[in-house]
Amino acid sequence: MLKLEHIDKRYTEHYALKDINVTFNPHETTVIVGPSGSGKSTLLRSLNLLERPDSGQYTIDDRTIDLSQPLTTETLLWVRRKTGMVFQQPRMFDHLTIMGNMIEAPVHVLKQSKAQATKHAHELLAAVDLDNTADRYPYQLSGGQTQRVAIARALAMAPDYLLLDEPTSALDPELEAQVLRVLNDLAHENQSMIIVTHNMDFARHAADRMLFLEDGEINFDGTPDEFFNNPTERINRFLNAFKFNQNEA
């Protein structure tokens, strides 16, 4: 369980997050949506402390971290082992092969043996249908392929929660579909996931729970059924903007 209480994050001009209180349950897929600049990414990045909130409490399992205090390296590394992150861009380590990317952290962070890490990596790559790319370098793969590797790389650390920050918004629709299929499979395997996305179709299909963020506040927290079929006036406007844009295109 991940629990955020009274999370504040201020930049000089504005609040990125304003008194956020939310609990993420295990084995659920939570989809976070909202307009640009609403704090979605900041919220997600706060969960593995790439972004450091100014204050608030963060509870993982039965350990509570006071975010207004300086954090020890040990705490930081512990949080990051609990949470895997997939970014908008795949962020492959360009100097390592795909296999090198996969086993880098398992070998050097989890101290797995190379053989053990490699075996597990092959399984994960096979699951995203890319086992044949193990010996290639990232530049030899397409954007959609590297993003699938990035997901597999995060899963290699066996994180309790997989965090994804607009994982498909840099991809064209065909490649996006490949990545979404992988995520959909993961959702059905009950991998705990928290996803920031603009893809409403995906949200509708994969989400167990929807969060709508605006101006650093959670404006909606409920089921996708409620979100899409019985939306508030504000969410309706948000959803219509998507439809309008799609008809235009």
Q: Which residues bind another protein (CB under 8 A)?
A: 48, 50, 73, 77, 80-81, 84-85, 87, 89, 91, 93-96, 104-105, 108-109, 137-139, 153-154, 157
Residue nearer to another protein on the CB measure, 1 or 158: 158
Contact 190, 174 (CB under 8 A): no
Residue nearer to another protein on the CB measure, 138 or 144: 138
Nearest distance from residue 47's CB to another protein, in Å? 11
Pairing mode, strands 161-165 and 192-196? parallel
Q: Which of 113, 188, 191 is nearest to 152 (CA)?
A: 191
Nearest distance from residue 52's CB to another protein, in Å? 12
In angstroms, the CA 60 to CA 46 distance is: 13
Q: Which of 140, 101, 130, 133 is nearest to 117 (CA)?
A: 101
Residue nearer to another protein on the CB measure, 49 or 218: 49
Residue nearer to another protein on the CB measure, 157 or 239: 157
Show Cβ contacts of residue 226 under 8 Å, excluding neighbours closer than 6 positions: 210
Nearest distance from residue 165's CB to another protein, in Å? 10
Nearest distance from residue 156's CB to another protein, in Å? 9
Collapse the DSSP code of 204 into the 3-class scheme (helix H, G, I; strand E, B; otherwise coil) and give the result: helix
